[in-house]
Each structure stands twice: as structure tokens, then as C-alpha cells.
């Protein structure tokens, strides 16, 4: 039994009860002897299906049109086991994409309900996990990973560490146990302790850093189950397991369930966008065909958030002072959203009970914000409950239950208690969350909702409806919130298992909270916490912004969390610039979160230089090669031509001299390039495809605007007005002996632009007044000093 396209060949071996997958993409790992198994419980026994491979029946449908294009389909039916559990296995091999998809349909035609456990869709044991029948020849494993096997692990939720591991590494587990585990760990995903043993959620990539081939394994959605993956990396044969978590949900007689599609995609690690076939398939699976999913389509996704300066001490007056500052800054630095974060509510859970420090109530404040032409936004955590809330007291039956029928632990929060999760299968609890979201959006008037701590609906425990998996409950809850507020309201997911929200939210937090400390430093415990992967810190936030950059504009708008600019934090100026550069290059939202009236002008200028936003998806060059990626490329184009931004970060604790080498960013070293570095203004011409000896401070960054050198031509090389060093140009023209550049910036500008000219300037005028220039270090390069308001026309004769 074989399915084949130009990328892959799948062979099913009923006599071995396993299947093989050979990938034709160069050096991509292949799979030998993968087994399938569905575990379920009945009367405290564990059973495994399918096992009757001798009497399976094969229904082969040659090709079918699906949402993933034409697919070769194969349908295998296993006879029911003694308890009446019958299984169908469907394979679909896409003709136009390097994707093989498969899923189980499980039906209970028996007389007793069973509880589903792990549903293994892929299981090769490699060298590390020994099996009884493991003769060398039939050992099941991933092959072709004998160079430097590497694993990309995706964290479960918004805050959770995502990044690569090698055989010598340890998985980054939290050491804070029940305090934080429910918030950050999918209960179905193991947190391995041994070297070379790793896990992941929803999808993962295994690849060989030397051979440059890889294989993505994952699920196209998390509508039915949370998917988990586990590997043991070994040059001689790696293990990989992938399963859907049945969560012990009941499958009652006469009912059936289909898993989400499992998927394998071979890939070339050196392709600029290696994960695209998978990312696009996931988007299609959720009805996202248009790549811009956000509701804030016409305006920039910019604003201010109250959290990282005021925390829960926020008062109405603080919001008002910040609105006033936003209005004062409007001409120079337009911000759109005013988002009130946690702290206005009396207790988490009692969302309609507002603190007296919000004297006039939320509707009034929203109206004030709207009247100023700004977008009011508000934070809600509709699925988590503070046990001291009225909600918990009045409706104990709305809480997910754990051991001894006590409320299940949803993690410890700085609200000062272990929290609980709402049981969304209780119709009244679900209706309450819908009413809360509707009230915030439509009675109070906040068209932008930050929905936080969403994982709390998906913690393990007992619910009213015992037939639902945790993933089904969360998906249902998120859809109910979307339905309650309508399509026009912008939803930002946070603290959310990523897969559950695709196609529902407009934007998603993809990393831990930012913080005024470089490393986690909760309660001053830096020494203890510095390796905690998900705790608030600038480094942790930056890390995931880089490692999850590829999700941007495929599944939602990435939210890299806020930019902290204040000189009063523990971050030095280089760290602030690294944060600003990462956020700018994420292509996602930009929210400031300082007390704006207190910010010194030179720090505000940093934010100003990021506006308007560059909304492109960045390319993180070394996402599979460094645990903390350091090189980003973004390609830009406008009337001043085509150019690239190359960022290089120095994550070491001491300064570093680096060469910015064109091939490292995918450019041809044989051409010569002109580059201008944004933060220092340094100008360089490449020698042998390199800008050499670029010194970068500890935790700092350089960001070069790189343009192909066209000798004898008139060229724009950059400016100190915008981090892109080019998007400030709205029109550009030249003829023999003169050139004109139209510049567009909000407000008053006092800056400079650098040009390369075919000759020496004879005269330069800005908006018809004479302007000064200066010779730069590179031949034919000149810097023009400009002062204008909103628009500047620079006219140069040479």
C-alpha cells in the first residue's frame, strides 16, 4: 500500500503493523517503522487499538479535492475490537504541497462508554527507547539525522519557551512546580529531565544542522485535542512520538470522534521560509486565506498599555494623564490604542465589579478615549477565577474540579492565591464569560479586548460534560467569546494555548512578559530564577519574539509585548535598543507601557523612530542554528528602491566584534553593498561581502540598512529618522545633475539623510531654503542636515 508524490512516499506494511515515510527533499529525515496506537480505558483496564491488521479493509479513493488542493486519499478500516471500538485511518497526500496528512476516526459501537487516552499517530522509538522486538534491521527510527540532530520545540501557550535543542542539552523545564506548571505546561506533554530528551506542543521540527534537511511533524489544528510530541535525539537513530491527548474524555456508545489532521512536511533548512507549507496548511484549516487577519487593518497596531509601569495600581487618573500625553504627542508620534490592563476590577472573576479608583466607571472612560479619536482597549481574563471572588463563592459549581472534588489548581498568581479555572461546559459559566466579553465590548464600549489567562479553561480536571477533551472545551469557549463580541471587535489572545485560538483572534502574544530586568528577577530572586524560561524578563520576551517570528501574518498578528523605554528600569540603553529593534522587526504591534508623561524626550525619540510600523514578516536567519537567534533580515521596497535590513544582536554579557557577512543573510558576496547602521550612523561599503569589525555592546544590536552599490548612480543610503532608513521617503526622482527626495515624517524633524551622488553637490535646498551638507567617509557619500515639519522636499544639484 503506497502513496507517492514528488516530495514523499508513504508505504504501509500491514504485516509489520507500521508505516514508512521516505522524503525526497535532499537530506530530510525519513521515518522507518512508525506504529499507531489508540489507548483507552474501560472499567479500569487499558486497551489499545487497532490491532487486527490481518483483517483490515482498504478503501482507496484515488484523488479528491480538499481545502489543501488535490490529494491522494487512502482509507483503512479496522474491525471493531471486543469492546466495540472501531477505527478508521485516513491518509491524504497533497499533490501540490510537500505534505502528508493523516487522522483517526474512532467510533464506539459497543455498549459501554470508554475514556480516550493518548492517541499515537506516530511512534518511532529510535535507539534511545528500546523495544522488545528491536532487531537492528527493524528498529523504528528517524533516519538521516547523523550530523548534528536538532529539535525545534514549540511551547504550549503564549508565554512558553520555544526554541531549539541539541543532543547535549536539557529540556527547559520550569522548576517552580505547581506554582506555575498549570500556566505553562500542557498536562499531556511530558517535561523530560534527561539530556537529549525533549518535548513540544502542536508541532516540532527535527533536522540536521550539518546536512540542512529537516522534517516538521505536527497537527493542522487543535480543535479536537492538544497534540504533544516527544523526541530522543541520537545520531544513530532518533525517536519521535506524536500523539493527540484524549484527556480521558468519554466516548459514549453510538458516538465517534475524528482527530485533528496530523501532518509531516520535509523541508530545506536553508530555504528563506522553510515552514511555509505547514503554516499555510494550518491557516487554510482555519479559514484564514487572507494573510492580514487583524481587525485594525487600516491603522497601525500601536498604542499604550497600563501594565508594565502601574501594574495593578492603575487608577483612572493615571490613564487620563497618559491619554493627555498621547494627545500632546499626537502630531509627532501617533499612537492608536489606549489599553487598560489588569487592576481596574475588584477581583479576578468579578469583572463587572469595578474598583472605586475608577470613579466614573469603564463606559465613561472608554467614551473619553473614543472622543479623542483613540481606540479604547481593556484586559480581561474571563476563564480564570480568584478563589476570593464573589464568582467563586456564589457559583462553586462553575469551577473545574480536581482531587477530592476541590477546585483544580490553575496556578499561583501574584493576585496572591492559587487560582481556579472556569468549567466552560457548564452552560451558565459559559454564558457568564460571554456576557462579560459582550459587556466590555459593547456596553462599556471597548472594541479592543486583551483576553488573558485563557489556558485556565484547559487545565486538567473534572467538568460537567465529561465527553469533551480540554482542547475542545477551550476552542468552544474562544468561539463563544468571538460570537458574543462579533467580528468587528479586535481580540488579542494572551496566556493562551496557541493552536486553540487560530482563526479566532486577530493578534496573539507569542512570548513571556517583558520586564524592566534583563533576566527574570521576581521578588529579587535573580540567581534562582534566571533560567526560568517563561518568567517575565526582557531577554525571555525577545527570545520568543525571534523564535516564533514565522507565525506573524500567517496565523495572526504577532504581539511581541510592550516596549519599555524608561531610564528608570534596570535595562541599559543597549538593552532598550535591542528590545526596540526586536519589536520593530517582529512586524507586529508596538505598545508602550511606561508612564508617558515621565519619559524623557530622547527615549520618546526611540519610539518615534519605529513609526510607522514595518508590518512585514521578518526572516530569522539562524532560528534553527542558535538557541538564542541573533540575525534577522527584513526586505523592504518603496520609491527609493529595494533594500534590506540586517540586524545582528550580541546576546553575550560582554561586547563583541562581528563581521556582517552578506552570505549569512542570503546575499551574494560578489556584489558590493553600501550599508548604514541605524543606532550609530556608521557608513560602510562591503569588502569581500562583509562589513568588518562591527562592535556590538553586551546585549546590544546593530541594524544595517543594506543596499546594492550602483557606482555612479544617485542612491539613498539611509537616515536617522526611521529605523527602516528608507520608509520616510515618499517620492524619489533624479535626472542628470539633480535629484529630488520627498520625505514624510510626523511632526518636527531635526535629522539627516545620507546620499551617494554621481558628483559633488553644488547646491542643496530643503523646502526651497538652503540646507547644509557634509562629506562622509565613503567616496561620493554626503550627509544633508534637515529641519522640517511633516514634509520635506530635498533638492540637490551636483
Write out the catalytic residue numbers.
Answer: 452, 513
CB of 748 to ligand 9PG, least distance (A): 33
The enclosing H or E element of 765 equals: strand 763-766
Site for ligand 9PG in 585-644 (CB under 6 A): none
Contact status, residue 711 vs residue 779, Cβ threshold 8 Å: no
Alpha carbons within 13 A on the beta-carbon side of 21 = 30
Nearer Cβ to ligand 9PG, position 34 or 537?
537
- Cα(602)–Cα(600) distance, rounded to whole angstroms? 6
Q: Are 167 and 149 in contact (CB under 8 A)?
A: yes
Q: How far is the CB of 444 from ligand 9PG (least distance, A)?
A: 18
Phi, psi of 19 (to 5 degrees): -135, 155
Q: Which is nearer to ligand 9PG, 358 or 379 (CB)?
A: 379
**Integer Cα distance of 782 and 784 in angstroms:** 7
**If we measure between CA atoms, which residue out of 168, 216, 276, 191 comes closest to residue 31?**
216
Does the protein bind ligand 9PG through residue 175 (CB under 6 A)? no
Residue 767's nearest CA partner among 729, 793, 741, 728 is 793
Contacts of 743 (CB under 8 A, 6+ apart): 719, 721, 728, 729, 730, 749, 753, 786, 788, 791, 792, 793, 794
Closest residue to ligand 9PG, based on beta-carbon distance:
342
| Of 301, 307, 310, 358, the one binding ligand 9PG by CB under 6 A | 307
Provide the grid cell at 724. 527602516
CA 301 – CA 591 distance, rounded (Å): 8
Residue 34 engages ligand 9PG in binding (rule: CB under 6 A) = no
* 104 touches ligand 9PG (CB under 6 A): no
Q: Report the residue number, 201 or 386, with the smaller CB distance to ligand 9PG.
A: 386
- The CB-of-307 to ligand 9PG minimum distance in angstroms stands at 5
Burial 616-632 (b: 16+ CB within 10 A, else e): bbbbbbebbbbeebbbb
The least distance separating ligand 9PG from the CB of residue 247, rounded to whole angstroms, comes to: 23
DSSP string, 670-702: TS-EEEEETTT--EEE-BTTEEEEEEE-TT-EE
CA distance 532 to 142: 31
Q: By C-alpha distance, which of 105, 137, 99, 121 is closest to 35?
A: 121
H-run or E-run covering 483: helix 470-485
CB of 187 to ligand 9PG, least distance (A): 17
Tell me whether residue 450 or residue 722 sits nearer to ligand 9PG (CB atom). 450
One DSSP character per residue, 651-664 reads: -SSS-EEEEEEGGG
Size of the site for ligand 9PG (CB under 6 A): 12
Measured distance CA(660)–CA(648) in Å, rounded? 8
Phi-psi region of 486 (alpha: psi -120 to 50; beta: other; left: phi over 0): left
Closest CA to 619 of 275, 211, 148, 135: 275
DSSP character string of 519-569: S--GGG-HHHHTT-SSSS-HHHHHHHHHHTGGGBTTTBEEE--PBP--TTS
- Work out which of 228, 295, 409, 413 binds ligand 9PG, going by CB under 6 A: 413
In the range 474-503, which residues lie near ligand 9PG by CB under 6 A? Answer: 494-495
**Residue 87: CB minimum distance to ligand 9PG, A:** 40
Is residue 513 at the binding interface for ligand 9PG, with CB under 6 A as the rule?
yes
The residue (of 515 and 664) whose beta carbon lies closer to ligand 9PG is 515
Nearer to ligand 9PG, 260 or 341 (CB): 341
Query: Cβ closer to ligand 9PG: 494 or 576?
Result: 494
Q: What are phi and psi of 347, to 5 degrees?
A: -145, 145
Beta carbon nearer to ligand 9PG, 151 or 307: 307
Least Å distance between CB 429 and ligand 9PG?
21
Nearer to ligand 9PG by Cβ, of 495 and 726: the residue is 495
Least Cβ distance, residue 145 to ligand 9PG (angstroms): 36
- The residue among 392, 464, 409 whose CA lies nearest residue 185 is 409
Nearest CA to 500 among 533, 479, 517, 475? 475
Nearer to ligand 9PG, 333 or 494 (CB): 494
**Closest alpha carbon to 473 in 457, 462, 488:** 457
Please report whether residue 304 would count as binding ligand 9PG according to CB under 6 A: no
Does 419 help bind ligand 9PG (rule: CB under 6 A)? Answer: no
Residue 673-702 contact track with ligand 9PG, rule CB under 6 A, x = bound: ------------------------------
Q: How far is the CB of 165 from ligand 9PG (least distance, A)?
A: 24
Instruction: Establish if 342 lies at the interface with ligand 9PG (CB under 6 A).
Output: yes
Is residue 379 near ligand 9PG by the rule CB under 6 A?
yes
Closest to ligand 9PG by CB, 149 vs 536, is 536
Does the footprint of ligand 9PG cover residue 183 (CB under 6 A)? yes
Compute the least distance from the CB of residue 305 to ligand 9PG, in Å.
Answer: 7
Instruction: Say if residues 625 and 617 touch (Cβ distance below 8 Å).
Output: no
Among 201, 316, 452, 532, binds ligand 9PG (CB under 6 A): 452
Compute the least distance from the CB of residue 442 to ligand 9PG, in Å.
22
The contact set with ligand 9PG (CB under 6 A) reads 180, 183, 307, 341-342, 379, 413-414, 452, 494-495, 513
Amino acid at each position: 500500500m503506497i502513496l507517492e508524490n514528488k516530495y514523499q512516499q508513504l508505504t504501509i506494511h500491514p504485516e509489520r503493523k507500521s508505516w514508512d515515510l521516505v522524503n525526497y527533499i535532499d537530506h530530510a529525515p525519513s521515518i522507518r517503522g512508525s506504529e499507531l496506537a489508540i489507548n483507552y480505558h474501560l472499567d479500569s483496564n487499558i486497551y489499545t487499538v487497532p490491532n487486527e491488521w490481518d483483517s483490515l479493509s482498504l478503501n482507496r479513493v484515488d484523488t479528491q479535492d480538499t481545502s489543501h488542493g488535490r490529494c491522494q486519499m487512502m482509507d483503512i478500516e479496522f474491525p471493531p475490537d471486543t469492546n466495540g471500538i472501531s477505527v478508521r485511518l485516513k491518509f491524504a497526500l497533497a499533490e501540490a504541497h510537500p505534505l502528508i496528512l493523516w487522522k483517526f476516526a474512532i467510533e464506539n459501537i459497543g455498549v459501554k462508554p470508554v475514556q480516550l487516552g493518548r492517541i499515537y499517530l506516530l511512534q518511532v522509538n529510535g535507539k534511545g527507547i528500546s523495544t522488545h522486538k528491536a532487531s537492528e534491521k527493524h528498529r523504528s527510527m528517524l533516519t538521516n539525522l547523523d550530523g548534528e540532530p536538532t529539535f525545534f520545540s514549540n511551547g504550549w501557550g503564549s508565554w512558553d519557551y520555544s526554541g531549539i535543542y541539541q543532543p547535549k542539552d536539557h529540556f527547559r523545564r520550569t522548576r517552580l512546580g505547581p506554582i506555575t506548571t498549570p500556566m505553562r505546561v500542557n498536562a499531556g506533554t511530558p517535561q523530560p529531565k534527561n539530556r537529549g530528551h525533549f518535548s513540544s506542543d502542536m508541532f516540532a521540527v527535527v533536522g540536521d544542522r550539518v546536512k540542512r534537511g529537516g522534517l516538521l511533524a505536527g497537527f493542522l489544528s487543535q480543535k479536537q485535542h492538544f497534540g504533544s510530541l516527544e523526541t530522543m535525539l541520537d545520531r544513530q537513530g532518533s525517536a519521535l512520538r506524536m500523539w493527540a491527548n484524549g484527556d480521558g474524555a468519554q466516548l459514549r456508545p453510538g458516538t465517534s470522534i475524528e482527530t485533528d489532521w496530523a501532518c509531516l512536511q520535509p523541508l530545506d533548512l536553508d530555504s528563506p521560509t522553510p515552514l511555509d507549507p505547514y503554516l499555510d496548511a494550518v491557516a487554510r484549516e482555519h479559514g484564514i486565506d487572507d494573510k492580514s487577519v487583524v481587525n485594525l487593518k487600516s491603522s497601525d497596531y500601536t498604542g499604550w498599555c497600563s501594565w508594565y509601569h502601574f501594574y495593578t495600581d492603575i487608577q483612572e487618573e493615571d490613564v487620563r494623564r497618559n491619554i493627555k500625553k498621547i494627545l500632546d504627542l499626537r502630531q509627532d508620534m501617533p499612537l492608536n490604542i489606549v489599553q487598560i490592563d489588569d487592576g481596574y476590577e475588584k477581583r479576578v472573576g468579578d469583572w463587572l465589579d469595578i474598583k472605586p479608583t475608577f470613579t466614573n466607571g469603564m463606559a465613561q472612560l472608554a467614551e473619553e478615549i473614543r472622543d479623542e479619536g483613540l481606540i479604547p482597549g481593556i484586559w480581561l481574563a474571563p476563564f480564570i477565577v480568584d478563589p476570593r471572588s464573589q464568582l467563586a463563592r456564589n457559583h462553586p459549581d462553575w469551577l473545574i474540579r480536581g482531587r477530592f472534588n476541590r477546585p483544580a489548581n490553575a496556578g499561583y498568581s501574584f493576585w496572591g492565591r492559587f487560582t481556579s479555572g472556569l468549567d466552560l461546559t457548564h452552560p451558565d459559566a459559559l454564558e457568564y464569560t460571554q456576557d462579560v466579553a459582550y459587556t466590555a465590548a459593547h456596553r462599556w464600549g471597548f472594541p479592543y479586548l486583551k483576553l488573558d489567562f485563557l489556558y485556565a479553561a484547559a487545565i486538567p480536571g473534572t467538568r460537567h460534560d465529561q465527553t469533551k477533551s480540554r482542547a475542545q472545551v477551550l476552542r468552544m469557549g474562544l468561539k463563544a467569546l468571538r460570537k458574543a463580541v462579533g467580528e468587528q471587535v479586535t481580540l488579542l489572545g494572551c496566556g493562551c494555548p496557541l493552536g486553540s485560538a487560530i482563526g479566532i483572534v486577530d493578534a496573539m502574544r507569542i512570548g513571556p512578559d517583558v520586564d524592566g530586568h534583563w533576566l527574570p528577577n521576581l521578588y529579587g530572586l535573580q540567581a534562582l530564577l534566571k533560567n526560568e524560561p517563561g518568567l517575565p524578563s526582557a531577554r525571555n520576551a525577545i527570545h520568543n519574539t525571534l523564535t516564533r517570528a514565522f507565525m506573524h501574518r500567517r496565523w495572526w498578528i504577532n504581539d511581541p509585548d510592550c516596549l519599555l523605554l524608561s531610564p528608570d528600569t534596570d535595562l541599559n540603553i543597549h538593552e532598550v535598543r535591542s528590545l526596540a529593534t526586536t519589536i520593530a522587526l517582529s512586524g507586529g504591534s508596538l505598545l508602550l507601557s511606561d508612564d508617558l508623561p515621565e519619559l524623557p524626550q530622547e527615549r520618546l525619540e526611540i519610539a518615534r523612530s519605529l513609526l510607522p510600523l514595518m508590518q512585514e514578516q521578518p526572516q530569522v536567519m539562524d532560528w534553527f542554528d542558535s538557541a538564542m537567534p541573533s540575525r534577522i533580515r527584513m526586505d523592504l521596497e518603496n520609491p527609493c528602491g529595494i533594500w534590506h535590513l540586517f540586524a545582528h544582536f550580541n546576546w553575550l554579557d560582554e561586547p563583541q566584534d562581528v563581521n556582517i557577512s552578506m552570505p549569512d543573510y542570503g546575499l551574494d558576496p560578489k556584489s558590493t553593498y553600501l550599508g548604514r547602521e541605524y543606532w550609530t550612523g556608521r557608513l560602510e561599503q562591503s569588502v569581500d561581502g562583509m562589513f568588518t569589525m562591527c562592535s556590538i555592546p553586551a546585549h546590544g544590536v546593530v541594524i544595517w540598512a543594506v543596499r546594492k552599490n550602483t557606482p555612479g548612480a544617485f542612491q539613498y543610503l539611509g537616515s536617522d529618522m526611521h529605523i527602516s532608513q528608507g520608509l520616510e521617503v515618499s517620492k524619489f526622482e533624479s535626472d542628470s545633475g539633480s535629484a529630488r527626495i520627498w520625505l514624510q515624517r510626523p511632526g518636527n524633524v531635526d535629522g539627516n539623510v545620507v546620499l551617494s551622488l554621481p558628483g559633488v553637490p553644488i547646491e542643496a535646498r530643503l523646502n526651497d531654503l538652503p540646507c547644509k551638507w557634509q562629506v562622509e567617509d565613503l567616496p561620493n557619500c554626503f550627509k544633508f542636515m534637515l529641519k522640517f515639519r511633516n514634509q520635506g522636499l530635498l533638492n540637490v544639484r551636483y
